[in-house]
Amino acid sequence: MTRAHGAAEAGRIRSEEEAGIGTESPGSVRASTIAIDGPAASGKSAVGALVAARLGYRFLDTGAMYRAVTWAALDRDIDVRDAGAVAALTTSLRIDVRLGEGAAIEPTGVVIDGVDVTACLRDPDVEANVSLVSRVAEVRRTLVAIQRALAASGRIAMAGRDIGSVVLTDADLKVYLDASREVRARRRADQLRAAGEQADVPAILADLERRDGIDSSRAVSPLTAARGAVMIDTDDLTIDQVVERILEAAA
Ligand code: CDP
């Protein structure tokens, strides 16, 4: 039996006072569920967290969940190309998700069988294997169920690859962020350098291309812009400009 759980607050109904900690007045915003999709390093996490902070919403970066399952598979020496083994592992895990919320939104946290793996989610071996794990149907079924439970009480921005097209098909607002590969590779390199790590731009570019290829061509829930999504090409926009466009669309 699947023992996957959302955060303890998953089914909780939040009051306006409790959740209305953003700078926008609650009455001025129509969209309660906001889906933000896009390819690797298109800015979904940074933008999604800022949008949520401005609205006083919670933020869920669903990529963290796929990365956490990948971490568990590697930790247990499971062959990530063995879909059956990855599926069996996923249904045996207890997955708890810690959503960011408030003015300074923390990265989405994931606890696997009681172990907080958040700090490991950007490890190079997780990065290299996550697209293989996330193409397994059972992995997606399990994680999507948690994501939907977390969204049930509304007031949430959720970032991923399939949020508008599969997870929250009735989201109040769907956004698809895009950017050229070169810009995305440069942004990821800047992120790594800001974190004090080395950045090899050609290697980053190759990894983005490889992940984009697997994510866009997989049989289950491939990366795609949902019908009706607001398309934003972010090549020449700052993060703040992208946030403003989304807030305008959410009003
Ligand atoms: O931050 P970045 O865009 O590089 O990646 P991420 O959003 O953390 O997602 C990591 C990987 O998880 C992606 O390359 C996909 O393979 C997978 N993923 C997915 O399949 N569906 C989602 N909703 C989110 C992530």
In this predicted model, which residue has the larger pLDDT, 63 or 15?
63
Q: What is residue 197's predicted lDDT score, i.e. its pLDDT?
A: 87
Q: What is residue 185's predicted lDDT score, i.e. its pLDDT?
A: 95
Residue 3 above 60 pLDDT? no
For ligand 1, what atom is nearest to the CA of residue 37? 23
Ligand 1 atom 15: residue of nearest CA: 131
Which domain CATH number covers 185?
3.40.50.300
Residue from 59, 65, 66 whose mutation best tests the ligand 1 pocket (most atoms within 8 A of CB): 66
In a domain, 174, yes or no: yes
Domain total for the chain? 1
In a domain, 9, yes or no: no
Query: 186-223: b or e for each residue (b if 16 or more CB lie within 10 Å)?
Result: bbbbebbeeeeeebeeeebbebbeebbeebeebeebeb
81-111 pLDDT, tens per residue? Answer: 999 999 999 999 999 999 977 667 788 999 9
The CA 161 to ligand 1 mean position distance, Å, reads 6
CA 171/CA 157 separation, integer angstroms: 10
For ligand 1, what atom is nearest to the CA of residue 162? 23
In a domain, 53, yes or no: yes
Residue list, ligand 1 pocket, CB within 6 Å = 40-41, 45, 62-63, 66-67, 130-131, 134, 160-162, 211, 215
In a domain, 2, yes or no: no
In a domain, 23, yes or no: yes
User: Which alpha helices (H) appear in the chain, and where do they start and end?
Assistant: 16-19, 44-55, 62-75, 83-92, 124-133, 137-151, 181-194, 201-217, 239-250
The boundaries of the domain holding residue 157 are: 16-250
Ligand 1 atom 13: residue of nearest CA: 131
pLDDT band for position 216 (cuts 50, 70, 90): very high
CA 26/CA 248 separation, integer angstroms: 14
The CA 153 to ligand 1 mean position distance, Å, reads 24
In a domain, 221, yes or no: yes
Report yes or no: 223 and 212 within 8 Å, Cβ to Cβ. yes
Ligand 1 atom 3: residue of nearest CA: 40
Q: What is residue 24's predicted lDDT score, i.e. its pLDDT?
A: 52
The CA 222 to ligand 1 mean position distance, Å, reads 11
Average pLDDT, the chain: 88
Residue 173 above 50 pLDDT? yes
Q: What is residue 25's predicted lDDT score, i.e. its pLDDT?
A: 52
Mean per-residue pLDDT, 195-222: 91
Residue 19 above 90 pLDDT? no
Residue from 36, 42, 65, 211 whose mutation best tests the ligand 1 pocket (most atoms within 8 A of CB): 211
In a domain, 47, yes or no: yes
Q: What is residue 101's predicted lDDT score, i.e. its pLDDT?
A: 72
In a domain, 7, yes or no: no
In this predicted model, which residue has the larger pLDDT, 30 or 144?
144
Report yes or no: 67 and 124 within 8 Å, Cβ to Cβ. no
117 closest CA partner among 101, 89, 94? 94
Q: What percent of the chain has pLDDT above 90?
A: 78
CA 211/CA 227 separation, integer angstroms: 23
107-158 pLDDT, tens per residue? Answer: 899 999 999 999 999 999 999 999 999 999 999 999 999 999 999 999 999 9
Residue 223 above 80 pLDDT? yes
Residue 244 above 80 pLDDT? yes
Mean per-residue pLDDT, 49-54: 95
